[in-house]
Amino acid sequence: MALRIVVVLAVLTGVTGSPNATMRPEAASSDMTANPNSVPETVEETHAFGQKEEEKEAEEEVMATGELNPNHYPAQRAAKVVQHYLNSRHGSPHRLFKVHRVHRAFAEDVPDTGRKYHLDVSIQEIMSNVTEKCSAEVLFPGGEQQGSARIQASCEELLKINSTTQDQAFYQQYKNNQTLVTAQYLPDSYGHVSPCMEPLRTLGIVASSVVMLNQSSENTLYNMVQVANLTQLSTENDQLKFHYHVLLHDMVSQEIINWKLLFTWSPAEGVKVEQMEQLPHCHSCEKPPNTN
């Protein structure tokens, strides 16, 4: 009888585990520092199971077709690409577009082509605070059709917003400057940008939109978070010319990605990116505040 009791207790202990199991304090500290929204796990098996479940849910979310939840990642990612498209083609130091709300989203697989998203979105022009409901289509090439997303967007009223006066004044100021402008950290570590530097930061977002549009896929969600530094370059033609070092934030991977851009701008021609180079990953870089 005594032997049987010992065996039963041993089996129960093996099934339930130790009731006093704890997580190492240093592990808890490390996890919470790395991601303040993370949930510390108490055992390795729970962590592995949870990770697999998250990966499965993320994959199912990306592959969803038909009517989509407007607030979920697939719809938001596609809408963000529309934002980059509008800024890269119609943005200026005094005209900048931002997704205000996704009203409706529908996704379909297009055989031998990729996946197409049909969107009804509200787009806000930030400087004038005007918002318009627009329709858009975003096609992410798939299979052998690798390449940038293809976008069609109808936002006629927003594109009528006139920033010519402000853009011309900005152009004349920097075209006639005796000293070529330089700047860094827009915004700074406190999220501040001086009013005189705000058009240069906005111009950086517009130029970065060309990169973000080119790099975007169903698995990314990019923001330009900071102009690390900029330098105006001399030019003999009618374009202003700049060299920018910008930090992009991919909200999906949580990576901060460094890019160097060489581009020109004028009110008549808009932004023309001549060179763009991705720099090696900076593991010590922290995300600046106030991402857009």
Instruction: Quick: pLDDT tens for 53-77.
Output: 454 455 444 457 899 999 999 999 9
Q: Is residue 260 part of a domain?
A: yes
- Assigned token pair, 106: 């529908």
- Do you know the residue count of the chain? 292
- Residue 147's alpha-carbon distances to 2, 116, 142, 150, in angstroms, are 72, 14, 8, 9
Interior/surface letters 65-77, b for 16+ CB within 10 angstroms, e for the rest: eeebebeebbbbb
Residue 54, pLDDT score: 52
This prediction's pTM: 0.76
Residue 202 contacts residue 227 (beta carbons within 8 Å): no
Residue 288, pLDDT score: 56
Q: Is residue 2 part of a domain?
A: no
- Assigned token pair, 282: 């900076």
Residue 105 contacts residue 70 (beta carbons within 8 Å): yes
Q: Which residues pair with 186 in a beta bridge?
A: 227
Distance CA(50)–CA(223), nearest Å, equals 28
Q: Is residue 108 part of a domain?
A: yes
Distance CA(251)–CA(256), nearest Å, equals 9
Q: Is residue 22 part of a domain?
A: no
Q: Is residue 49 part of a domain?
A: no
Residue 258 contacts residue 285 (beta carbons within 8 Å): yes
Q: Is residue 33 part of a domain?
A: no
Distance CA(115)–CA(62), nearest Å, equals 10
Determine the longest span between alpha carbons in the chain, in angstroms.
100
| Residue ranges making up the domain that contains 150 | 66-278
What is the CATH number for 167?
3.10.450.10
Q: Which residues pair with 223 in a beta bridge?
A: 249
Q: Provide the 3-class DSSP secondary structure of residue 161.
A: coil
**Number of separate domains in the chain:** 1
Q: Which residues pair with 172 in a beta bridge?
A: none
Helix (H) or strand (E) run with residue 27 in it:
helix 25-34
3-state helix, strand, coil in the chain (%, to 5): 35, 35, 35
Of 212, 219, 289, nearest to 257 by C-alpha is 212
- Assigned token pair, 69: 């939840």
pLDDT tens, residue by residue, 187-197:
999 999 999 99
Q: Is residue 249 part of a domain?
A: yes
Residue 280 contacts residue 230 (beta carbons within 8 Å): no
Residue 50 contacts residue 41 (beta carbons within 8 Å): yes
Q: What backbone torsions phi and psi does residue 262 show, to the nearest 5 degrees?
A: -115, 115
Distance CA(208)–CA(147), nearest Å, equals 18
Q: Which residues pair with 112 in a beta bridge?
A: none
What's the average pLDDT block by block, 10 residues per block, for the chain (292 residues)? 41 36 32 31 36 47 80 94 97 98 96 94 97 97 80 93 96 94 96 96 98 94 97 94 97 94 97 95 57 49
pLDDT tens, residue by residue, 127-176:
999 999 999 999 999 876 678 899 999 999 999 999 999 999 999 999 99
Q: Is residue 220 part of a domain?
A: yes
